[in-house]
A and B are shown apart, each in its own frame.
Chain A
Amino acid sequence: MAKVTIDGHTIEVPDGTTILQAARMLVDKNPEVDAKIAPPTMCYYSKLKTSGGYCRTCIVKVTKGSEKDPRPMPKPVASCRTNVMDGMEVVNITSPELLEARKGVVEFLLINHPLDCPICDQAGECHLQDLGYEHGLAKTRYDFSRRTFAQIDIGPYIKLHMTRCIMCFRCIKVADQITNNRFQGMLFRGDASEISTYIEKAIDNDFSGNVIDVCPVGALTDRTWRFKSRVWFTKPMDAHRNCTKCSGKVAIWMKGNEVLRVTSRKDQWGEAIDWICNDCRFEKKDAKDWVIEKPSHISRHSVISQNHYENLAQLKLDIGKQQKQIASKK
């Protein structure tokens, strides 16, 4: 076991736990602890091996290495790929310097992102949106043209909108680890890299749809649901059916009695609880296909649970304030 202190909160965790997991455990076990001490993650996914380390949003500062070797680590470390040591001390939201560095990472993730949220299906459940909202600047400092790609249909179910991709590698790891045939990977280098399938070969596999769930942005979307509705006008319900391929435990997103889409259920960190098969996801769009259990748990902070913009007045005020700020800067 190793004792680790994160932003002043101490927890004992098994050896081999990462700083990120320790922070999540802290939050899970102590309702009074600010959930924000668990660093934001854009590429790490606990259910995917070797995920994490790429996006750098989860960086933290290690101010004390361990009881044995108390030296601080010279650079920020990716909390999702750094294991705790006994006696380690870590700062996240209590370090202005670290928050500044994270702000830099968020800015990097955004400079080539199209910010086309108004026409993006992911809007409302996009991790980049949340991240930008919490850490981003109101106005971009990037004044060059952004990189763009043509949209690609990866088979009948999945749309790849590479322009929105943040290169988190999650979809590649799903294709590698969940499906039994990987035809997909990363092509080219640097900021010209792109996710691609082998000569646009369809990802033809029972579990390929899970790439949609792991994609933190709107780069991989469900073609059977595209443009049907904004997500916050739908109601997610936990539901299940007898499925021979997967657990059949899903969330169905309903508008009235209509099932607009089916996804995996998500835990509080936004990760799929069970991988689901393409039959459940794409082919069962009739309410009669499903046994509905209860409304899905959605984080209070999410726009989806706001559902009908209860705080519309405050929102209007905020937007007005922002617009004034921007105007005065011009």
Chain B
Amino acid sequence: MGKKLLIHNDKVPGIATLEVYRQHGGYASVEKALKTMTPPEVLEEVKKSGLRGRGGAGFPTGMKWSFLARPEGVERYLVCNADESEPGTFKDRYLMEVIPHLLIEGMITSSYALGAKTSYIYIRGEYFYVARILEKALDEAYAAGLLGKNILGSDFSHDCYVQVGGGAYICGEETALLESLEGKRGNPRIKPPFPAIAGVWGCPTVVNNVETIATVCPIIMMGGDEYAKIGIGRSTGTKLISASGHINKPGVYEIELGLPVEEFIYSEEYCGGIINGRKLKAVVAGGSSVPILPAELILKNDKGEPRLMSYESLSEGGFATGTMLGSGGFIVYDETTSIVKNLYTFARFYHHESCGQCSPCREGTGWMEKILHRIVEGHGKPSDIDLLWDIQRKIEGNTICPLGDAAAWPVASAIRHFRAEFEEYINHPEKIKDVKHYYSVHQLAGA
């Protein structure tokens, strides 16, 4: 059994209630931090832990916290990013739904370290029922003196609010989130200034993912050095992985970083292998935005070494042969999958979610979707593949926020690794109406 620090108690009946949660050691990090540590000491432990942001970019959390501006007399804020809209990612929902107090505990401990009197949990609109669960947990925490004035008799006071979003992927981008939180249209801000200097209400703000904040609790309890011993290299600790697709046991798994990808897919402890004993075709390892990799490259890197579930190992080989851990949205495709159709679905998503502020993303995402639609419908042109390649290349790196990149990478990687499949669609449109066709297509590309 791999090490579990976050959801080891997920099957305990009543763990969503404060009473049961506390019986299982809940809120110990708040007690420990508030009663025995100074805020800089808490920050120091997080730094030592090597924790990296679990929202997608993997930025070291301790470093992010130390960048927070601390001018005299200006409020600071902690904002939890619970917008979780990346296709293939559903770990934050699981955590908040099953153990809501873990997030709230993390919010209090982290806010103490940051000196934030107020924090917000910004949750996507579709998770309305989860927001209700969180609000109930907040009420319990207030009633128990864990929130509000003078928490546990200390001189630290803190208020935490849940804010429900309207359900837009772009509001997961941290500055769009802040705009939305302020009640405005959720458009990403042009940076600089970064949130650490001017975030919500123009005040210094830290934005962290749900899982990042929850992980602060075990870090404070075990100490940063101990935490850093878990995992591999600079990928310390455990990570929640949302596993979906053609696997026997889809679900949320907590893994120790460094677990071999092969073990994750095939072992009974995790995904339990591919459904119906079929062959693995491809994997999107970190949510829809990261490059898709064919079976051979996800199981082993370009040097033939086993690929591990870690930030470094997954990105080994750059985008030519590697990918990213991203948010941990692990989507598995078996040999019956049409990569082209899958890409069309992704492209539709990014087109729909582009905020429209900057020209390359606003116009390019729609254009790519239209071309892919035509290919999927059997009307593709031979020049379409190169055109798609050129469009994604001109979006990538030329936009205000990374949604443009997120829309470009899936297109680039699908063409890079599965070009033959696109050609098959374009050169043999007559086969597209034929269901069996998909088999011939994937065999061609898989060979």
Contact = CB atoms under 8 A, between A and B. Distances in A.
Interface of A: 52-57, 59, 74-76, 78, 81, 101, 104-105, 107-109, 111-112, 141-142, 144, 166-167, 169, 185-186, 188-193
Interface in B341-380: 351-360, 362-367, 370
A169 B190 CA distance: 13
B356 A189 contact: yes
Contacts of B358: 53-56
B190 A190 contact: no
B359 A166 contact: yes
Given A53-B400, A56-B398, A76-B398, A105 B355 contact: no
Contacts of A54: 357-359, 400
Interface in B39-88: none
B278 interface: no
B444 interface: no
Nearest to A188: B356
B398 A190 contact: no
A191 B366 contact: yes
A186 B185 contact: yes
Contacts of B357: 54, 167, 169
Enumerate the 3 nearest inter-chain pairs by beta-carbon distance, A residue then B residue, closest first: A104-B394, A190-B354, A108-B363
Given A55-B359, A105-B360, A189 B397 contact: no
A141 B397 contact: no
10 contacts: A53-B190, A53-B358, A54-B357, A56-B360, A75-B397, A75-B398, A76-B398, A104-B393, A190-B354, A193-B356
A101 B391 CA distance: 10
A74 B398 CA distance: 11
Contact of B394 (A101, A169, A185): A101
B427 interface: no
Nearest to B396: A75
Interface of B: 168, 170, 185, 190, 351-360, 362-367, 370, 387, 390, 393-395, 397-400
Contacts of B356: 167, 186, 188-193
Nearest to A168: B359
Nearest to A111: B363
B363 A59 contact: no
A185 B355 CA distance: 14
Contact of B354 (A53, A111, A144, A189): A189
Nearest to A81: B190
B398 A105 contact: yes
A104 B355 contact: no
A108 B360 contact: yes
A105 B190 contact: no
Contact of B367 (A111, A189, A192): A111
Q: Which of B190, B363, B387, B398 gathers the greatest number of chain A CB atoms within 10 Å?
A: B363
A101 B365 contact: no
B362 A101 contact: no
B400 to A, nearest CB: 6
B198 to A, nearest CB: 13
B384 to A, nearest CB: 10
A109 B387 contact: no
Given A189-B356, A190-B352, A190-B354, 9 more contacts: A55-B358, A56-B360, A76-B397, A104-B393, A105-B359, A105-B360, A108-B394, A167-B356, A193-B362
Contacts of B387: 141
A108 B399 contact: no
Nearest to B387: A141
Contacts of B185: 185-186
Given A186-B185, A190-B352, A144 B360 contact: no
Contacts of B395: 104
B205 to A, nearest CB: 19
B175 to A, nearest CB: 12
A66 to B, nearest CB: 15
A142 B387 CA distance: 10
Residue among B185, B352, B359 having the largest count of chain A Cβ atoms under 10 Å: B359
A286 B287 CA distance: 64
Contacts of B190: 52-53, 78, 81
Contacts of A104: 360, 390, 393-395, 398
Given A59-B398, A190-B354, A191-B351, A144 B370 contact: yes
Contacts of B393: 104
Nearest to B359: A108
- Interface centre among A76, A144, A169, by most chain B C-beta atoms within 10 angstroms, is A144
Contact of A191 (B170, B363, B397): B363
B190 to A, nearest CB: 4
A190 B362 contact: yes
A167 B358 CA distance: 8
B344 to A, nearest CB: 15
A104 B397 CA distance: 12
B360 A190 contact: no
Given A54-B400, A105-B394, A107-B394, A190 B365 contact: yes
A245 to B, nearest CB: 31
A61 to B, nearest CB: 11
B421 to A, nearest CB: 23
A188 B166 CA distance: 13
Contact of B353 (A105, A112, A190): A190
A107 to B, nearest CB: 7
Contact of A190 (B366, B394, B400): B366
Nearest to B399: A56
B173 to A, nearest CB: 13
Nearest to A193: B356
Contact of B364 (A108, A167, A186): A108
Residue in B355, B360, B397 with the greatest tally of chain A CB atoms within 10 Å? B360
Contacts of B351: 190-191
Nearest to A185: B185
Contacts of A107: 394
Nearest to B397: A75
Contacts of A144: 367, 370
A36 B351 CA distance: 34
Given A75-B398, A144-B370, A109 B353 contact: no
Most central of A56, A78, A112 by chain B CB within 10 Å? A56
Nearest to A186: B185
A56 B398 CA distance: 7
Contacts of A192: 356
Contacts of B365: 190-191
